[in-house]
Amino acid sequence: MSTASNPGYLGYQPTLQPLKLTTGASFVQTIQPSGGAVFPAGTAIVIVLTAPGGAPLGSWNATVDANSARWTVPAATCDDIPANARYTMLVTYPTSPATTYAWYAGSVIRT
């Protein structure tokens, strides 16, 4: 059964969106909280990458302050990530106990 209050699944659903990497270019991304919100002190955000078969490829930690989460990943690191790899962006809030959400997830596309 699916309703507005029950979308047909349990649990938090990440936004599904591809992560685009361009050969020879760094991955540069900034995320800002909306509506005047801020990231609480101690918030951690990481992009976890896995190969198409599921093997770990590494993770990219954001630099987080109250107003933004920023990544600048060198091209030499990005170029090793193959097309069709998977990624999940995880945000961990400093609650007690810590709460981790999968914010974004999807496939890596290459250009």
Q: Is residue 43 part of a domain?
A: yes
Q: Is residue 91 part of a domain?
A: yes
Q: Is residue 45 part of a domain?
A: yes
Rounded to whole angstroms, the Cα distance separating 103 from 111 reads 24
Which residues have C-beta within 8 Å of that of residue 111, sequence separation ≥ 6?
A: 20, 21, 22, 23
CATH number at residue 85: 2.60.40
Q: Is residue 9 part of a domain?
A: no
Residue at token pair 């609480």: 40
For the chain, the domain total comes to 1
Q: With 70 as the cut, is the pLDDT of residue 15 above it?
A: yes
Q: With 70 as the cut, is the pLDDT of residue 26 above it?
A: yes
> What's residue 12's pLDDT?
85
β-strand pairing of 86-93 with 44-50: antiparallel
Q: What angle do CA 104, 110, 111 make, to 5 degrees?
A: 130
Q: Is residue 95 part of a domain?
A: yes
Q: Is residue 40 part of a domain?
A: yes
Residues 47/56, Cβ–Cβ less than 8 Å: no
Average pLDDT over residues 94-103: 95
> What's residue 10's pLDDT?
80
Prediction pTM value: 0.89
